[in-house]
Structure 1
C-alpha cells in the first residue's frame, strides 16, 4: 500500500514537473531545411507561459511577420494537443517560414524536453526544435 502511494505520487510529480518546464518562451532553432540564421533573424518563437481560465495553454507564436495564437493542452508526459491556430493577416516580404509553420504546427502531437530544449514531433517523425529563451 505504501509502495503504491509512493509510485502514484512519483508519477504525478513527473507530469507536473514536465508541465512546469514547458510553460516558457521557446526560440525555434531547427525546423525543416530552414537555416538556423533565418530562424534567428526572424525571431521565430512560441510562448507557452499563459494559462487560460480553462487550464489550457493560451499560446502565441511569431515567425517574422504575423502574430499567431493557439491553444495547447498537455495530454500526458509526452503528448500535446495543439488547436485553434490563427493569426493576424499582414502581407510580408518573406512568408515561407510562417506558411510552413502554420501548416505543420497543429500536427505536432508529441514532445520531449531535454535540458533547455523542447522538441515537438508529429506522427510521421517531422520535428520542430526549440531552445528556452531564458537560457544563456
Structure 2
C-alpha cells in the first residue's frame, strides 16, 4: 500500500511540475498590439493611414517575445527582450520583400527599430528610445 501511495504522489508531483513549467510567461501591460502614433518625421495621420503597428501578443519564452510589425505593406518579424529596468533588446528584425509604392516608412522603421534600447509604459502608451534622441511612441490598440 505504501508503494502505491508513494508512486501516486510521485506521479502527481511530476504532473504538477510539468504543467507549471509549460505555462507561458505573460506580461499583460506589455504583450499587446501597439499602434505607432509618433515616429521620426512621419505625421500621425500618415502612421494611422499605413496602420503602422507592432504586435507583442506572442508567447514569452525565456523572457523573449517573438513579435511582428506592419508599416503599410510588408510583414515584419523580430525578437524582443524587455527587462524590468527599462531596457529592451530587439534583434532578428526581418520582413517579407514585396515592392510597394511608399516604402519610406518601412525602410526608416527597419533602420531604427533594432537600435531602440530603452522602453517605458505610461498608461496606454509604450515609448521606445535609443538614448540618442530617436524615439517611437505607440498607443495600445485595445484602448478606446
Q: Tell me the residue number matched to 2:19.
A: none
TM-score by length of 1: 0.83
Aligned residues: CA RMSD: 1.7
Could you tell me the TM-score, scaled by structure 2's length?
0.79
Partner SS for 1:20 = coil
Name the structure 2 match of 1:82: 90
Match of 1:100? 108
Structure 1 residue 51: Cα displacement: 1.9
**Structure 2: which 5+ residue stretches go unaligned?**
1-24
Q: Which runs of 5+ in 1 are unaligned?
A: 1-15
**Cα distance in 1 between the residues matched to 2:29 and 2:116:** 18
Secondary structure of the residue that 1:103 maps to in structure 2?
helix
1:64 to 69, 72, 79: 72
Query: Any idea what the Cα deviations from partners look like across 1:80-132, whole Å, max 9, x if unmatched?
Result: 10000000000000000000000000000100101000000002121000000
1:32-77 superposed Cα distances (whole Å, 9 cap, x missing partner): 1101110000000000110254441010000001000000011233
Aligned residues: 120
* Higher alpha-carbon deviation: 98-107 or 45-54: 45-54
Alignment of 1:33-52 (within 5 A): 33-51=41-59
> 1:76, 1:125 → 2: CA distance?
22
CA distance in 1, matches of 2:118, 2:77: 19
1:118 to 94, 106, 126: 126
